[in-house]
Structure 1
Amino acid sequence: MLAVLMVLGSAAAQAGNPLVTDKFTADPATLVDNGRVYLYAGRDEALPPPEGTKYVMNEWLVYSTCDMQNWTAHGTALRYDVFAWAGGSAWASDIIKRDGKYWFFATVTERSAKAKAIGVAVADSPLGPFRDAIGKPLITNSMTLQTDIGWDDIDPGVFIDDDGQAWMFWGNQVLKYAKIKRNMIELDSQIYTDGLPQFTEAPYVHKRNGIYYLSYSRDWPEYTVYSTSDKITGPWRYRGKIMDKNLKTGTVHHAFVEFNGKSYIVYHNAELPSGGEYRRSVAVEEFTYNADGTIPFIAQTTAGPAANPTAACKPQASAQARQG
């Protein structure tokens, strides 16, 4: 049976990996805001095999922490049907704050085209409620003709550079990227492509000490790799593997977080009991950049990171309803 959740103000406990044990979660996106890390994850709802033979994803859940160990479950951030034009598939997302609002870039299925598209939702709080910011997709399958598949417009990764210019990277098989206008609901350039070696999906861009890092999932089964550049548009220098492939699912999807002076990677595996290809679980690891700015290989662990509370941290209820 499920144990009782931790009560407000109780002593911090080692969260461990996976972070959430009462639901299956995947494709993490993160936001640091007002001394908390917010984690957004698609909920895997597929039944165990042999019944579960495809992804069943209808909503994104949201969790938060102020110490990287105690995670508060805030419930559903939004569902795919926030977008009236969408026909399902709450796939990988990203979120970013600009001008006091929270912009959620989401992969869903465009009902009319029966293909993946990227929508934009907006809220006044990181917990929502979110609403469709445009009333139509930002990116549709008909806008990108580099492949003949219907799932090449997925996995948005949004980044705001030091000069205030917003960018979005996305794609499957072919990496695509474009500028986004200040209003966060229109493209501000043509759609560019980049021939990264064996690019599969899940591009993520961040910047540290003047270096741009572009990390992504490579090959199949996927493992996580990265490249660096001194420009947001490349050329990108391939740097190697960050994380190995998973044992029970072919996918891996990640985001990086800088919080309270430490560095983290959030990702998914399938290590819960009865986990698998369509029943995945979000986890987190702490790491330290090498002296030259390169990223070390990061092993998956069951322990997860040590506590790292902010000065004003008041642990809330754990996100984990532990099975016992």
Structure 2
Amino acid sequence: MRSVWMALALTATLSAASPSGASDGEGAAPGSNPLFRDRFTADPAPLVVGDRLYLYVGHDEAQRDEMFNMREWLVYSTTDMKNWTSYPPIMKATDFKWAKKDAWASQTIQKNGKFYFYAAVEHDSSHPGKAIGVAVSDRPTGPFTDARGSALITNEMTPKGTHSWEDIDPTVFTDDDGTTWIAWGNRQCYIARLKPNMIEIDGPITEITPPHFEEGPWLHKRGGLYYLSYASLDRSTQRDEHVSYATAPSITGPWTYRGELTGSGKYSFTIHPGIAEFKGDWYIFLHNAALTVGDQNGAIGRRAVTVERLLYNADGTLRPVMQTSAGVSAPR
């Protein structure tokens, strides 16, 4: 979710004024971007349950020059990709008693009749640095409770990393054989198998870092091809993150880099893909910083979730995605 913002945020001009009326949903076509206009949301993670798509997001309450102020996670749902239902917050970062702050990127998956929620937070001083927790609920709308009483992944578990916030942005994926995998990372991308109980790592942690990987990995599968999409940054030419992707014949690789999928989000240093098939169509969720709420413009922390259709070529590669204000309200 976050990246080299510690080094770059002070030099990036990310609080540019948003388009007139961006904060006002009145008159906006259903399905146009941003999806939610009354608060700042980021790091979208879709989950399809029956005929409804649930979208899990972080809620940033940053004021003025604050970089991030993310305390809780939210969920919305839709049956038509155009009209959305909101719910009370599903969890706070500090509901993980071992965590002290930062409700960063998350993803929820359904298995064993329950819903498992994986999220990045800041661990307390017993395990300094970012960590990944797992919570559980009987319902996709929560509330969720800590499933372990301790972190699933801590900074000490990936000792080759270069910084304390590398263990963020979990993505979870269940393969056709029922095995569930978790991938995550910042600068380095890691993957590991989960035990059937969904709350323990099963086996080694492997590094699978693709070119220009920055953060925000997302795993999905279509046909016999596996996809790893992620926020990328070519440090020699780019200031803001883009989305790139790789493919593989197996979840364990080898991964082949396929290039960029999207450009950067408007006014936003970060970007974060979430991909799902819903009622026969594929969608990619992203975020930008083009929303104004009250007197607060979009900024590095104050982002807004968007959605676009995702299309495939005959060979399984993905067609480049143009980010639009029309979103899925536009004709096919």
Partner of 1:239: 258
For residues 100-115 of structure 1, the aligned pairs below 5 Å read: 100-112=113-125, 113-115=127-129
Measured after TM superposition, the shift of residue 307 of structure 1 is: 8.8
**In structure 1, C-alpha distance between the alignment counterparts of 2:280 and 2:213, rounded to whole Å:** 31
Whether the 8 Å contact between 2:219 and 2:229 is mirrored in structure 1 is yes
Cα offset for 1:4? 9.8
Give the TM-score normalised by structure 1. 0.89
Q: Match of 2:11?
A: none
**Counterpart position of 2:285:** 266
More RCO (CA 8 Å, sep 6+): 1
In structure 1, the residue matched to 2:41 is 25
Residue identity in the other structure for 2:135: A
Q: Percent identity?
A: 48
Alpha-carbon spacing, 1:60–1:5, altered in 2? closer, same or farther (3 Å) = farther
- Alignment partners' CA distance in 1, 2:330 and 2:56: 20
Runs of 4+ residues over 6 Å off in structure 1: 1-6
Q: For residue 304 of structure 1, what is the aligned residue in structure 2?
A: 327
Aligned-pair distance for 1:291? 1.6
Deviates more, 1:298-307 or 1:204-213: 298-307
Following superposition, the deviation at residue 306 of structure 1 comes to 3.8
The separation in 2 between residues aligned to 1:32 and 1:14, in whole angstroms, is: 20
Task: Look up the match of 1:80.
Answer: 93
- The verdict on how the C-alpha distance between 1:144 and 1:272 changes in structure 2, with shifts beyond 3 A counting, is same
Q: Secondary structure at the match of 1:76?
A: coil
Shift of 1:40: 0.7
Pick from 58, 66, 73: which aligns with 2:71? 58
5+ long unaligned stretches in structure 1: 7-11, 309-324
Q: What value does the CA root-mean-square deviation take over the aligned residues?
A: 2.0
Contact 1:42 1:92 in 2 (8 A): yes
Change over 3 Å in CA distance of 1:104–1:172 after alignment to 2 = same
1:163 is matched with 177
Is contact 2:190-2:209 (8 Å) kept?
no
1:206 correspondence with 2:210: no
Judged with a 3 Å threshold, the aligned counterparts in structure 2 of structure 1 residues 5 and 18 are, in CA distance, closer, same or farther, namely closer
Partner SS state of residue 156, structure 2:
helix
Q: Provide the C-alpha distance between the structure 2 equivalents of 1:174 and 1:254, rounded to a whole number of angstroms.
A: 17
1:256 aligns with 2:282: no
Give the corresponding residue for 1:180: 194
Deviations 1:67-116 (A, max 9, x none): 00001111211111220110000000011000110000000010123310
Q: Gapped runs of 5+ residues in structure 2?
A: 1-20, 234-238
Name the CA distance, whole Å, in 2 between partners of 1:47 and 1:97. 35
Aligned mates of 1:257, 1:192 — CA distance in 2: 25
By how many angstroms is 1:13 displaced? 5.2
Cα distance change, pair 124–300 in 1 and its aligned pair in 2 (3 A) = same
Contact 2:221–2:227 (8 Å) recurs in 1 = yes
**Number of residues of Structure 1 aligned to a counterpart in Structure 2:** 300
- Report if aligned partners of 2:24, 2:37 keep a CA contact under 8 Å in 1: no
Q: What SS is found at the alignment partner of 2:89?
A: strand
Cα deviations by residue, 1:166-198 (Å, 9 ceiling, x for unpaired): 100001111111000010001111111124112
Structure 2 match to 1:125: 139
- Structure 1 pair 244/185, CA: closer, same or farther in 2 (3 Å)? same
Which residue of structure 1 lines up, in the alignment, with residue 15 of structure 2? none
Contact 1:85 1:136 in 2 (8 A): yes
Match of 1:319 in 2: none
